[in-house]
Amino acid sequence: MSRLLSTIALSAGLLPAMLWAADSQGAALRAPIAAGATPMSPASRDQGPPQGEPIHAVLGIPPNVPPPVHRNHPAKVIVELEVIEKEMPISEGVTYTYWTFGGTVPGSFIRVRQGDTVEFHLKNAPDNKMPHNVDLHGVTGPGGGAASSFTAPGHESQFTFKALNAGLYVYHCATAPVGMHVANGMYGLILIEPPEGLPKVDHEYYVMQGDFYTTGKYREKGHQPFDMDAAIAEHPTYVLFNGREGSLTGDQALTAKVGETVRLFVGNGGPNLVSSFHVIGEIFDKVYYEGGTHAQENVQTTLIPAGGAMMADFRVEVPGTYVLVDHSIFRAFNKGALGMLKVDGPQDKSIYSGKEVDSVYLGDRAGDNLHAVSIAAKANAAGTLSKDDQIKAGQQLFAGTCSVCHQANGEGMAGVFPPLAKSDYLAKMAKEKLISIPLHGLTGAVTVNGQEYNSVMPPMSQLTDDEVANILTYVLNSWGNPGGQVSKEEVGKVRAQPATATDSR
Amino acid sequence: MRAVLLIAGLLAGLSAAAADYAPLPAAVFNSVLPADGKSAPARMAPFAMRVEPVTNDEYLAFVQTHPAWRKGNVPAALADAGYLSHWNSASVLGSHALPEQPVTRVSWFAAQAFCESEQARLPTWYEWEYAAAADSTRTDARADAQWRERVLDWYGRPSSTTLADIGGDANVYGVRDLNGLVWEWVDDFNALLVSADSRDQNGADTTKFCGAGAATLQQKENYATLMRVAMLSALKASDTTRALGFRCVRTL
Amino acid sequence: MKRLLLGMLLLLGAGHAVAETPLPGTSVYQLDVGLIDQQGHGWPWADRRGQVQIVSMFYTSCSMVCPMIVDTMKLTAQAVHAPGHAPLSLLLVSFDPARDTASVLRDYAQRRHLPSPPWMLARTESPAAARQLAAVLGLQYRQLPDGDFNHSSELILLDAEGRVAARTSVIGRLDPEFVHAIERTLADQ
């Protein structure tokens, strides 16, 4: 009996020590808390009155953020944010009227320290048409500040709040109709650093996902207005990072070097969709899920609620292009939710030996800027479209869409995908039949250059008339093919006819 | 001498009445702002509405005869620093204020004074909403999603493009340019009682708004009208902005 | 005769100019509207110039917040500690001039123990003028079909020149910042 008692007593004595040991390991994962206080106690949240001179906050223009705060006392921070309504491109050849905080979507990144007193100035540019306000999720107070910042164009509002809770918070406009203001891009992030700051990393980047609703289809050219019914039905036309297709691809990709640590501040402005955020080829070492104080480790894909945010830290070990996606995958490839992180540096074959992942994963949408495509679109509108314009545009579109199967030089894959280079099959084909292939697809056995292929080519229904015309013109004029030109009108005619059963011939 | 004065007065009266007013019949109307704060429709007596918003030219004639309202003469309590700031001077419009454009950058007090000068008044919100719900063939086009989308389109464009002249298509009453040209003042702009945080739809703070609390907005898919309510709620009577003009009505 | 008239006009003008410095641009007295008080006397709103006052708007048949507005004004006036200065005036203007006639206002003042001075209850000449007064003070209200009103509730402090020196929407208890603002404004006169 006494042995039992002493065993129990021993374990009881050990238990606190074990808990303490586990806890200190946990503490290394969590941001440490001020001594003598728990996260929820007022003693740690309200650090007292501001000290020193007021500071004018430096705001971050996406995808960059202001430098870490590096301060050991609470201060008064003055934040000035201007609302600007402006027309900007949302995709190549497509424009949209955005309502922005600071001229960008997402709006400027605000960075303060827990305990700071923030004097917030909201300005509404005189050329704007709409009144606006701001709701910061990091504010403790009515409407998050929305009640006190309702501002007509050509006016300025001011309110002050104390940043009581550390974390990464969304801010957005909350003027009726709220859904429309958010859908037009009025969101951003405010980081309230814990008093001792965040662990140091080599790069910090700012990414924010949003869904966009236009009356035209995905990539339909021209100025597109907001589609209220689609927004209510939650059927977005675009799902984008940082407000624009291609905002984080090509020469605007995020960058890092092998061996460096990267921190992504990722928000989701919505208005409707939840994001399944994933970086292809990388694992998040730490995810401060929901932008809060605790971190999960070794995460592949993390959920970011609409109106929420998260912070992910990871180290890049091998060079390559890592693709940021919303893993609800049709959003990445058919609505534009795709960005890139390019990592340079020496290979490490022991970690990854293979080729770059580029051409398979990226599918249609992440080639270099589709500059020639927009030139062709403009020329088409002006009536000056030349065969050369079409060939150049077609080349870029081919690289994004067709080369996946038919390969970059049109050589196809033996036994699987027929070649397009010097193809006798194409040479003797009527133009209408040629056009119907990308439009309606092709199934069944075909013989090309003496070889038989029996595969399924799906219809390329995401391509518009001018895109099909440009791709076909490029194919006809490349790799020893006989030449020729296909026009947008010819494509339109074929599209209007229904696909016939003889398409497989 | 007296005869000359009489004729001059008559002529002055005539030119003031030269603005066209079109009659609108009495109506029971389902507004986005229910009359009792919950669901009641608005009841309107017949009235006549100015066919066009007031133009720069007409406003210039007004300030010539009412010098208290000339640019530079109006105290800050009645019009802010932006009052007529796009006019070259107190008596010259200049190239940024074409004669046939609707006058903008005028405060509520200024608009009231103008309407008074032509024996009229500002429309109430209900009168304005009722007239604006009509298109060229129907008295109430609001159920038509395409019509709503067209009206909404105007709000999506920033007002940095040049303001168009008056003279758009007339609606079924003969009134023009209610949608798509400028925001317009109404008499009871400060009666819209929408909480500054537009998400406070129910359970509003009853000490902030005595009575039924902040108005609950109906017809939430009618975004364009909701935005008008939001815009007017954001204004103070002395405010002036680039895209805000007005027109007048007369009780019949 | 003409010269005499001209001379008299000049004198009047000069006297007028000496008696009053120009009204500040932001003064609410820039609005030309007439009030009729509980005794039935009519005078221009700008006649209140020279008095530091708390202003609010109400209507007598209001049963919810308006009694609290009146009580808050009483409480605030009592809490003001400004010895040696002119007393604080308290003005209530009705949203509902049609029903709140002079005698109704007198009745109300008696029932709620609002002695005049420092209290003054008044109405405008017309509902349109009430709208204008509310607009210049920044108050919102709308009339409901049953005759009641929805309205915002605020106490507004006007300095002697008619500029809004402070406002509070705290109703039912004291707002210490508002009380301080009153004391400062009284001291500045």
Contact A224, A215 (CB under 8 A): yes
pLDDT band at C1 (very low <50, low <70, confident <90, very high): low
* CA dihedral for B193, B198, B202, B203, sign (positive or negative): negative
Question: Once rounded to an integer, what is the mean pLDDT over residues B2-6?
Answer: 60
- Evaluated on CA atoms A36, A38, A41, A47, the torsion sign reads positive
How confident is the model at residue A165, as a pLDDT? 92
CA angle at B185 for the pair B180 and B186, rounded to the nearest 5° = 115
Separation of alpha carbons A347 and A353, rounded Å: 8
Half-sphere exposure of A191 (CA within 13 A, CB side): 29
Question: C150 in contact with B at a CB cutoff of 8 Å?
Answer: yes
C-alpha–C-alpha distance, residues A111 and A103, integer Å:
18
Residue written as tokens 């374990």?
Answer: A11
Closest residue by Cα to residue B28 from B2, B7, B46, B49: B46
Alpha carbon distance A480, B225 (integer Å): 61
B235 touches chain A (CB under 8 A): yes
Q: Specify the pLDDT at position B224.
A: 79
Kindly provide the residue ranges of all beta strands, DSSP E only, lying in B89-138, ordered along the sequence.
none
Distance from CA of C70 to the nearest CA of B (A): 13
Q: Cβ contact (<8 Å) for A143 and B157?
A: no
Cα–Cα distance between B228 and A443 in angstroms, integer?
Answer: 55
Percentage of residues in chain B having pLDDT higher than 70: 79
Quick one: tokens of C57?
């708007």
Interchain contact, B158 vs A128, CB within 8 Å: yes
Distance CA A126, CA A152 (A): 9
How far lies B147's CA from each of A230, B137, B220, B223, in Å?
16, 12, 15, 12
Average per-residue pLDDT for chain C: 86
B126 to chain C nearest CA, in Å? 12
Residue B201: its pLDDT value, please?
45
Three-state DSSP string of C8-72: HHHHHHHHHHHHCCCCCCCCHHHCCCEEEECCCCEEEHHHHCCCCEEEEEECCCCCCCHHHHHHH
Q: How far is B102 from chain C (nearest CA, A)?
A: 24
Does B241 contact A154 at a Cβ distance shorter than 8 Å? yes
- Mention every residue, 6+ apart, whose C-beta is less than 8 A from residue B45: B26, B251, B252
**Structure-token pair, residue A295:** 């971190």
Q: What pLDDT shows up at residue B40?
A: 76
Q: What confidence tens digit (pLDDT) does each residue in C28-84 have?
A: 999 999 999 999 999 999 999 999 999 999 999 887 778 889 999 999 998 998 777
B153 close contact with A: CB closer than 8 A? yes
Q: Determine the residue of chain B that is closest to C27 in CA distance.
A: B77
Q: Is the separation of the CB atoms in A270 and A368 below 8 Å? A: no
Query: Do you know the residue count of chain A?
Result: 505
Burial track B222-239 (b if 16+ CB lie within 10 A, e otherwise): bbbbbbbbbbbbbbebbb
Query: What is the structure's pLDDT at A25?
Result: 40
pLDDT over 90 for what percent of chain C?
58
Which residues on chain B place their C-beta less than 8 Å from a C-beta of chain C? Answer: 35-37, 40, 43, 75-78, 108-109, 112, 121, 187-188, 190-193, 206-213, 215, 236-238
B235 vs A contacts (CB less than 8 Å):
131, 152
Token match 């999720």: residue? A137
| Chain B residues touching residue A177 (CB < 8 angstroms) | 198, 220, 223, 226-227, 230
The Cα B190–Cα C132 span in angstroms is: 10
Residue of B179, B181, B198 for testing the chain A interface, max A β-carbons within 10 Å: B198
User: What's the pLDDT score for residue A31?
Assistant: 41
Provide the CATH number for the domain formed by B2-251 in this structure. 3.90.1580
- Which of C 69-128 lie inside 8 A of B, CB atoms? 128
Q: Are C69 and C55 in contact (CB under 8 A)?
A: no
Query: Alpha-carbon distance B37 to B211, whole Å?
Result: 9
Question: What pLDDT, on a 0 to 100 scale, did the predictor assign at position B5?
Answer: 57
Q: What is the pLDDT of residue A3?
A: 55
Q: Tell me the torsion sign for CA atoms C132, C133, C134, C137.
A: positive
Q: What is the C-alpha separation between A306 and A150, in angstroms, rounded?
A: 23
Contact residues on chain B for A143, CB-CB shorter than 8 A: 196-197, 199-200
Kindly tell me whether chain A and chain B come into contact, counting contact as 3+ Cβ pairs under 8 Å.
yes
Q: Coil, strand or helix: which one is A117?
A: strand
Assess whether pLDDT exceeds 60 at residue C7.
no
Q: What is the pLDDT of residue A351?
A: 74
Report d(CA A319, CA A281) in Å as an integer: 11
Q: Given the structure tokens 């007529």, which residue do they identify?
A: B84
pLDDT in single tens digits along all 505 residues of chain A: 455 554 444 444 444 444 343 344 433 333 444 444 444 444 456 778 888 899 999 999 999 999 999 999 999 999 999 999 999 999 988 999 999 999 999 999 999 999 999 999 999 998 888 899 999 988 877 777 777 778 989 899 999 999 999 999 999 999 878 899 999 999 999 999 999 999 999 999 999 999 999 999 999 999 999 998 899 999 999 999 999 999 998 889 999 999 999 999 999 999 999 999 999 989 999 999 999 999 999 999 999 999 999 999 999 998 888 999 999 999 988 899 999 999 998 877 777 766 544 333 444 444 455 566 667 667 766 777 788 888 888 888 887 678 777 877 888 877 777 899 989 988 888 988 999 998 888 888 889 988 888 877 877 877 888 888 989 999 999 998 988 899 888 998 888 887 554 444 4
Residue C117, preceding bond cis, omega within 30 degrees?
yes
Query: Closest partner residue to A228 among B149, B157, B196, by Cβ?
Result: B149
Domain ranges of chain B: 2-251
Q: CB contact, 8 Å: B217 with chain A?
A: yes
What is the predicted pLDDT for the residue at C140?
A: 84
The more confident residue out of A332 and B193 is: A332
CA-based nearest distance B222→chain A, Å: 9
Give residue ranges of A with CB < 8 Å to any B CB: 85-87, 97, 126-131, 133, 135, 142-143, 146-155, 174-178, 180, 184, 215, 225-229, 232
Residue A127 and residue B159: Cβ atoms within 8 Å? yes
pLDDT of residue C178 exceeding 80, the answer is yes
Query: Where in chain B does DSSP place strands (E)?
Result: 21-24, 27-29, 42-44, 47-50, 183-184, 209-210, 244-245, 249-251
CB contact under 8 A, C140 and B190: yes
Residue of A nearest to B235 (CA): A152
Reading the block at residue B45, the tokens are: 């007596």
The amino acid at residue A240 is: L
Q: State pTM to two decimals.
A: 0.68
What pLDDT score does A16 carry?
A: 44
Smallest CA–CA distance, residue A86 to chain B, in Å, is: 6
A and B: number of Cβ contacts within 8 A: 110
Return the minimum-mean-pLDDT range out of A257-271, B75-89, C9-23: C9-23
B30-76, pLDDT tens digit by residue? 888 777 666 778 888 999 999 999 999 999 999 999 999 999 999 99
| Pairing status of strand C119-124 against strand C89-94 | parallel
Render A57-98 in DSSP notation, one character per residue: PPPBPTT--PPP---SS--EEEEEEEEEEEEEEEETTEEEEE
Q: Which of C25, C62, C146 sits opposite B210 (nearest CB)?
A: C62
Which two three-digit tokens encode residue A359? 């051409």
DSSP state letter for A416 = T
- What ipTM did this prediction achieve? 0.79
Q: B228 to chain A: which residues are within 8 Å by CB?
A: none
The tokens of C3 are what? 């010269």
DSSP output for C64-110 = SSHHHHHHHHHHHHHH---TTSPPPEEEEEES-TTT--HHHHHHHHH
Question: In chain C, whose CA is at the least distance from the CA of B122?
Answer: C128
Q: Write the DSSP string, A430-481.
A: -HHHHHHHHHH-EEEEEEETTEEEEEEE---TT--HHHHHHHHHHHHTSTT-
Nearest to B156 among A97, A148, A178 (CB): A97
